[in-house]
Amino acid sequence: MAPGKTAPRLLQDLFTYDPRHEERAGRNLLTSAPPQHDTKAPAVPAVPYRNCRHNLLVKQEQSLGLGPDGEIGRESAYRIASYCSKCRWHVDVLVQHQSGTAKIKSCGKGNQEYALHHFLYHGEDGSNGSDRLEAQLRPRTYTFRCSAPECSVEVRISMKPPRFSEQDVDTLTNQAQLRRRLEVAKRIAGERADTVMARRVDGPDYLNTYLQDSLNPTKGKARIPLLNKKFLKTFGRDCDSILKRLGFENRQEEDDDGTLVEVWYLPKPEEPATTGATLRETIEDARYELNSIILDIPQSERVNCRHQPFDSSPARPYLEKALACADYAKAQGRETRNTNHEEDHPYYASLGAVGDFDDALILFAFSRQSALDIENKSYYFECLQDLAAGRKSEVLGMQVAMLASKGVTTKREAERAYQYFGIDPAHAGVISDDHIIGSFRSRLSDISLIQAEEARKQLRVLGDVRDSDRIRAEASGSIETYEQAMAWFELEHDAADDFVQTMYSLKTQDNPAELETAQKALRVIADHRQSERLRNYLKFGTISEPEMDLGDAYAAFNVADRSVALDPAVLESVLSTYDIGSSERERMERACGLIQQDQSQRFGNQPSNSTMPVMRRNNYPLETWPVGLRNIGNTCYLNSVLQFLFTIKPLRELILNCEYRMQDISPEALKDKKVGRIAVTAERVVTAQKFVRELRSLFERMITASTDTVQPAIDIASLALCKSDNPEESVQSPQADATKGTDLGTIDGAAVYGPMLPPSAEQFTSADVPVGSLINVDETNPTDSDMKDGDAEPITPADSVMDDDTAARDHDSTKQSKPNDSDMPAPPTRPPPVPPRADPKPAIKPAVPSSTKIGRIEESARQQDAAEVMANIFDLIRCAITGDSILREGEQGDAIKDLFFGEVTTVMEKPGGTEKAHEFRDHFLVATGRRDRSLYATLDEDFGLSEIEGGGGSRYDYVERPAPIQIINVKRLQFEKGEAIYDRSHVGLEKVMYLDRYLAQTPTLSEDQLLELRKTQWAKQKQLRELEAKRTKLQTTGLEGMNLPECLEASSDYINNLITERSEEQGHDAAALISLPTPPPELSDALQNSAVDLATELSGIDAQISSLESEIDNVFHDCNSVPYRLHAIFTHRGDVKGGHYWIYIYDFQSNEWRSYNDESVEKVVDEGEVLNKEDKIRPKVSAGVVYVRADLAEQYTQAVCRQPERSDHQETNLDIEMKDFLVDSDDEMPALEPVDMTNIPVIEGVEKASCLVAMMRVGEKRNSSGMEPPPKRKKDVE
């Protein structure tokens, strides 16, 4: 709601409100809130000096509820009609109870809670005038209602302009006009005309007499002939319009001698009982105004007037009584400033109070304003605080202290809090709570504990100012609700459990002091979701239950004697009684699997149906939908690459028929073979051919699999991710590079994006760790599922179980691998990733290379960037196959070269002449410049004109021969001041991109024509760079979140405050200030003016930049002869410490997008999900995009290529149990069930009755025919 004002304040504003000057003042003093007082700004008068300080006098005839003696009666409604003797405006104040409400308890003296009315403005009656003058002089009625809940008083203030305009008064009293009127009278009446000119007072005096006679009609006085001497010389014909407005009638009549004469008849007003806008009221108003006009004429000119001016009673006492504020408690020694030109301090008006209020009424006004205008409560508290100091009031001072202890803040404190978080206080109304909380969280990770406490203090201030429980809760750090817990983890409400665990790990690793808070947040989420996985994580430190051993498995089925043979059918019968998807069912399935393996080794038993029903991941027919690829450890990017390569039809056919294209490894055949301008060795060819064959096997399974997902072979990952020709070689240990930070390598000398390196060892060292000790990165570094990010797409369970654990786990797995147990499948060697059990600090032990192939793959993946993975795969395929031709510099020409490589020419213009260099590129590498841009803008910068290092000239690039399939990678990792920064800027993608502007020539434009267009663009780009540099100079200061104009403004405010404080303190301690320099007063103004000028300049630069960017985009507007269609988008969500990749691929045959997220392949319903910027805390970003030449798009791509085989149970079992992973005990993987764990509800299980044990026991001779499985039970209920 809006602020209000107490009854005395309303009256004081009424006595100073002048409708004539409202437009010039810029606000309505009566109805609008006063401007908030700013001690730093120049003083502004509360009342414009032009305004009339009204002297309101009562109009007794028109008032209602006044007694004969002028006292206020006991009526339910009062009308005090008045007029101002100065400006002659008429003011009627009607005080009544609102219609339709029953009076309960009126405010005023005797009401302890509401000692005064507190009025709120509720609107205006009447319409605005059609022009400026008419709008100023229009009648108006304002309605105010008391804000007290039990008071129904309503006040209607009506204001009407004078009946006589200034022109009318001039017509009646101007001596020059009176002189002309006399001359006209002589011409009309001849000798009958009066010879003496009328006096200035005669017109108002005679007219007053006529109007009095009309109100008290007397026979013989109603008719005035025009030729009446006094009438003719005083009014003549000039005053006809005035007379007619007042109700006079003009007629032509026959005189006694038969001649026609012109006469005037007096008005005929209604009876006094008539109410409303009547002629009587008009005449009465006119008489009051004429009385004031006569009084304005000097006494010497008023001699012998017919009617002596009468005195009216002042209206103020009646108004005070009607508004119940005649005898309110006043502060001793203070006067109400109402009609003179002295003003109260602006803080009184802001509180809706007046200066003579006693302390109790000041507090009353503050409480009403604060309750009704919560948004400005901090300003009202500032008013109260300063008034308490100015009045030297102990009562107010004590109340201020109490409110401050409860968290109430002043406007100045609120502004400082907004500025602390880099927010302009002027924009506070449009800034959301989420933005403020996000600013607070973004600072916490970069500041000390002391600074964090200060940040929380400032956040608490904003929480109180905005009355936001969310902000208060964030400031206090308390976590009570599900929303607060998810917000603390910086996650969306629907984020999967895996990401909750990931953020828990990140939070506790980065700040171990927050362990208790993190545990509470995780507990709240687990309870809200009823998630056993998160409860297990809290209890055991793993998203799933601790690894089950054989004893636990038998105990789960209540079998005490392992030497007894069990019927496999009964095992599965018991298992079937558990609801699919429940956490208990998952636990029992693991137990059943262990028992089956043990029984098989002991007794040779085979399960009657070892294959569980395959759970489909979608409802699409297998032959119409691509398969997903399971993640085998930090391979989400590799999976995206493999899915993309599979959709390229020529490449897929090449791989499937690779045996016909395999390279001969004889020295003669390899003599001239070069890939990447490097000679290829036989060892490299062997490795490459192994990769291609594995890739062929994967592609075949992707085509023929009877399931929704397939598992890439470990060798595919190891060969694609490991740079060595021998994938068995261990990658470099993290220990060796512990001092190198998190560098990801470079491409063309620039830092690149991709799967991130693990944090360096120094990041985990602490005061209690000896220098030189390193932390086991394998134990602390998450896989690609530990994405430290709350917005990532759901990650499959495979992502969640691919990391090393403690040495105890390694010891257990080693113990189970003894020769005597070689036939027993060992439990998984890689338990789930992080977190720490009770202490989030990672264990301190020397970092050692992983001993397993999966571990080596993960370590290699962490040390590779995305572009290198793609380039490595291309190199492997090219090394494995024979070439089709020999290109420049002996480079092998082949299908990969034809499909993905374009030829780029670099033109270098040096002082010695122009040089050209040619290069084959399989991708373009672009950067966003840390701001949202279109893909064209990033490519324009990459191919644009730039200076050669060392000032040796300029260079630019163009594409001599474009690749049919063009890959464009985006640099996401940037380095500033030695720190890695993740660039989340959005790259705007077009579904169709035209490469014309980057080509040497096109079908429609020659090389020279394109060069001219480029030069035009370069000129504009140069202007743009200059403007951006200028803007950066104005925006960059030593203070975070403040540009140069804001710094100058803050400096001006500081100097102004310093001067004010010096002047206030000079009288108290003059000696102490003598040695301190006082800045000159003009310095503050100079800084303020400079700040305004620079802010204007900065705004102008922004407008110029926007205009230039638009012009640059339009340079090549008509160049659209070489179209490329968008085919794939490699997408990443994360930060410098980790992230998750998935890919969007467009199916040109079906005209639809699909999202390939490891195992999940989903249809994209809304294309905006793919192309639009995501509004999340950590939005997904495009890490790479792929365009295909438009005329080849459908020929070269085929997203769906499926011929699923209907395999029997044994084949399905082999696929589900992934037996190919058990060939080498060193590479054992946990069995992955093709079940979507993210969408299955978690239900608490119920203990099975021990009587089920009897059903499973059998003797030497099985008697299964007599055993029936128990009936399927109903769903467990907690």
Among 273, 301, 329, the domain-final residue is 301
Which pLDDT value is given to residue 336?
Answer: 52
State whether 228 and 282 are in the same domain: yes
- Widest CA span in the chain: 156
Arithmetic mean of pLDDT, 615-633:
83
Q: Which helix (H) or strand (E) holds 1131?
A: strand 1123-1135
Q: How confident is the model at residue 440 (pLDDT cuts 50, 70, 90)?
A: confident
For residues 244 and 97, membership in a common domain is answered with no
Measured CA to CA, the distance from residue 1250 to residue 660 in angstroms comes to 63
In a domain, 357, yes or no: no
Q: Is residue 849 part of a domain?
A: no
Quick one: what percent of the chain has pLDDT higher than 90?
33
Question: Residue 1172 — pLDDT band, cuts 50, 70, 90?
Answer: very high
Which pLDDT belongs to residue 264?
A: 92
Q: Give pLDDT, residue 70.
A: 53
β-strand pairing of 1152-1157 with 1160-1163: antiparallel
Whether residues 171 and 222 share a domain: the answer is: yes
1277 with 579: CB under 8 angstroms?
no
Based on the fold, state whether residues 80 and 213 are members of the same structural domain: no
Question: What average pLDDT does the chain have?
Answer: 78
Least confident of 160-164, 698-702, 1022-1026: 1022-1026
Residue 132 has a pLDDT of 56
Q: Could you tell me how far CA 410 lies from the centroid of its own chain?
A: 26
- The total number of structural domains in the chain stands at 2
DSSP per residue over 63-82, as a string?
A: -BSB-TTS-B-S-S-EEEEE
Q: How confident is the model at residue 126 (pLDDT cuts 50, 70, 90)?
A: low
Phi, psi values for residue 148, rounded to 5°: -65, 135
Both 38 and 63 in a single domain?
yes
Task: Identify the residue with better confidence: 1144 or 1212.
Answer: 1144
| Helices and strands of the chain, counted as H and E runs | 44, 34
| Residues 873-929 pLDDT 10s | 999 999 999 999 999 889 999 999 999 999 999 999 888 888 999 999 999 999 988
**Per-residue model confidence (pLDDT) at position 854:** 54
Last residue of a domain, one of 301, 334, 362: 301
Who wins on pLDDT, 1025 or 730? 1025
* Residue 511 confidence (pLDDT): 72
Where does the pLDDT of residue 157 fall: very low under 50, low under 70, confident under 90, or very high at 90 and above? very high
What one-letter code names the amino acid at 351? L
Please tell me whether residues 95 and 179 are part of one structural domain.
no
> Are residues 13 and 156 located together in one domain of the fold?
yes
Nearest to 1256 by CA among 557, 552, 551: 557
Mean pLDDT within 575-593:
77
Q: What is the mean pLDDT of residues 239-267?
A: 89
Which of 135-139, 431-435, 801-805 bottoms out in mean pLDDT, i.e. has the lowest? 801-805
In degrees, to the nearest 5, what angle opens at C-alpha 420 toward C-alphas 414 and 422?
Answer: 110
Res 388: pLDDT? 93
* pLDDT score of 142 more than 90: yes
**Residue 762's pLDDT is what?**
40
Question: Does 275 map to a domain?
Answer: yes
CA–CA distance, 657 with 880 (Å, rounded to integer): 12
Looking at residues 334-360, what average pLDDT do you find?
78
Q: What is the pLDDT of residue 544?
A: 53
> Which of the two residues, 632 and 461, has the higher pLDDT score?
461
Is 153 in the same domain as 173? no
Residue 30 domain-assigned (yes or no): yes
- Give the C-alpha separation, 618 to 1107, whole Å: 48
Same domain, 209 and 96: no
C-alpha radius of gyration, the chain, whole number: 45
The mean per-residue pLDDT over the stretch 343-369 comes to 91
| Helix (H), strand (E) at residue 284 | helix 279-296
Half-sphere exposure of 902 (CA within 13 A, CB side): 24
Residue 33 covered by a domain:
yes
Say whether both 155 and 224 belong to one domain: no
Tokens standing for residue 625: 């939908």
pLDDT at 293 (0 to 100)? 93
- Domain of 35, in residue numbers: 5-163+314-342
> Residue 331: CB partners within 8 Å, gap ≥ 6?
356, 357, 358, 359, 391
On the question of pLDDT at 768 being above 60, the answer is no
Whether residues 143 and 61 share a domain: the answer is yes
d(CA 865, CA 103): 77
Q: Would 920 be classed as within a structural domain?
A: no
Structure confidence at residue 1066 as a pLDDT band (50, 70, 90)? low
Residue 679 lies in a domain: no
Mean pLDDT, residues 520-544: 80
pLDDT tier, 319 (very low <50, low <70, confident <90, very high otherwise): very high
Q: What is the pLDDT of residues 688-742, one digit of tens each?
A: 999 999 999 999 999 999 888 888 888 888 888 766 555 555 444 434 343 333 3
Q: What integer is the mean pLDDT of 424-446? A: 83
Least confident of 663-667, 988-992, 1241-1245: 1241-1245
Domain boundary among 271, 301, 331: 301
Task: Decide if 119 is inside a domain.
Answer: yes
User: Quick one: pLDDT band at residue 818, thresholds 50, 70, 90?
Assistant: very low
pLDDT at 1244: 36
User: Whole-model pTM?
Assistant: 0.46
Q: 93: which strand partners? A: 80, 157
Cβ(690)–Cβ(728) below 8 Å:
no
- Do 151 and 180 share a domain, yes or no? no
Of residues 1253 and 1175, more confidently modeled = 1175
